[in-house]
Structure 1
Amino acid sequence: MKSPRLRPLRHDETALLEAATLGNVNWCGPRFTIDDVRERPEFAHYTHLESGRGDFGIVAEQSDILGVAWAVLLPESDPGYGFLNPAVPELSLWVTPTARRRGVGRTLLRALIVQAAIFEFERLSLSVEKDNPAKDLYLSEGFTDVPGREEDGVMVLRLVRR
């Protein structure tokens, strides 16, 4: 596969984030619907970026969108699955089924890590279910399990400070 073109995720791409979140929560098969993603607070907060709180993301595309990686800074009153604290962005990553196992996810993840470092974040967090094959990607890129949060699949990456 030819290297995808990367571009910033726009704040108006809610439909993309809804589809990506649906894909993420259904990684192992149908469990939730698009209505669940839109209506359930534990999913809905992943479906939009808020520039005022510092959210950011990257889209990989060729002729179509291949995947997206994004990070949100959620408040303690509305934490995500991989929440550590309000100053640690929680990342999500989704690749279309037809583009998986072709390096798109790794490319997106690395680009998001670079972006987080540019924004001077010290860490990134995420949550991944234990049987999800994406966990191998996160481990290979330096993410480690958060002690005491292993059951929730919470992982963290410490970013190198310049």
Structure 2
Amino acid sequence: MNEYHVRPIETEDVPFLWEMLYASLHTQGSDEPFEPEIVHNPELSKYVEGWGREGDFGYIVVDTLGRRLGSITLRFYHEQNAGYGYVNAATPEMGMAVIEEARGKGVGTLLMQAALEEARQRGIDAVSLSVDPENAAIRLYRRFGFEEFGMCGTSVTMLCPLHPVL
């Protein structure tokens, strides 16, 4: 059985965040994959660039060998730099990705649990995200209470209201 450890994102994880940003770009099975440089386009780079600014938080899952398996980030935006899952300035947008060989093994669940618990502890009322409706991860998001909020281009914006756990 694999053992995983969840830890907060550290400065040395930023290159991995760029890798995970690229991994999060969903393409259909028959679509050509995106060029890796796409993550440096302004509409995508905002998800990682300058990581560690006030309000940023997130987690990395590592295995027993210290290998990074996935990341989850939460970051606040405003109307002028709104992300694809933007709802309002008080709602952080979540970004998550898991390396291909670790998918379906509970890594995403661990990341979601850690991030949503931290958001609750910080007194955040809701978390948003953007996902392609064909992405299998949408089932995970629904399981954690995310509901469809709207559309941005071809992606679904989802919102998870956070209520104190009693």
TM beyond 0.5: yes
Is this contact kept in 2: 1:13–1:48, CA < 8 A? no
1:59-101 deviations in whole A, cap 9, x for unaligned?
Answer: 0001211111111111210111100011111001111111110
Is this contact kept in 2: 1:58–1:108, CA < 8 A? yes
The question of 1:124 aligning with 2:136 is answered no
* Residue among 28, 32, 35 paired with 1:33: 35
Q: 1:157 is matched with which residue?
A: 160
Q: 1:136 is matched with which residue?
A: 139
Residue identity in the other structure for 2:72: A
Residues 14, 51 of structure 1: CA spacing in aligned structure 2 closer, same or farther, 3 A cutoff? closer
Q: 1:71 is matched with which residue?
A: 74
Residues 116, 27 of structure 1: CA spacing in aligned structure 2 closer, same or farther, 3 A cutoff? farther
Residue identity in the other structure for 2:140: L
Moved more, 148-157 or 80-89: 148-157
Q: Distance in 2 between matches of 1:37 and 1:78?
A: 16
Q: 2:61 is matched with which residue?
A: 60
Is this contact kept in 2: 1:70–1:91, CA < 8 A? yes
Percent same amino acid at aligned positions?
29
* 1:17 CA drift (Å): 1.2
Q: How many residues align?
A: 160
SS of the residue 1:111 aligns to: helix
Is this contact kept in 1: 2:70–2:107, CA < 8 A? yes
Q: 2:85 is matched with which residue?
A: 82
Is this contact kept in 2: 1:88–1:125, CA < 8 A? yes
Q: 2:96 is matched with which residue?
A: 93
Is this contact kept in 2: 1:145–1:154, CA < 8 A? yes
Moved more, 20-29 or 124-133: 20-29
SS of the residue 1:21 aligns to: helix
Residue identity in the other structure for 2:7: R
1:76-129 deviations in whole A, cap 9, x for unaligned?
Answer: 101111000111110011111111101110111111000111111100000111
Q: Distance in 2 between matches of 1:49 and 1:117?
A: 24
Normalised to the residue count of structure 2, the TM-score between the two structures is: 0.88
> Which residues of structure 1 form unaligned runs of 5+?
none
- The Cα RMSD (Å) is 1.9
* 1:12 CA drift (Å): 4.6
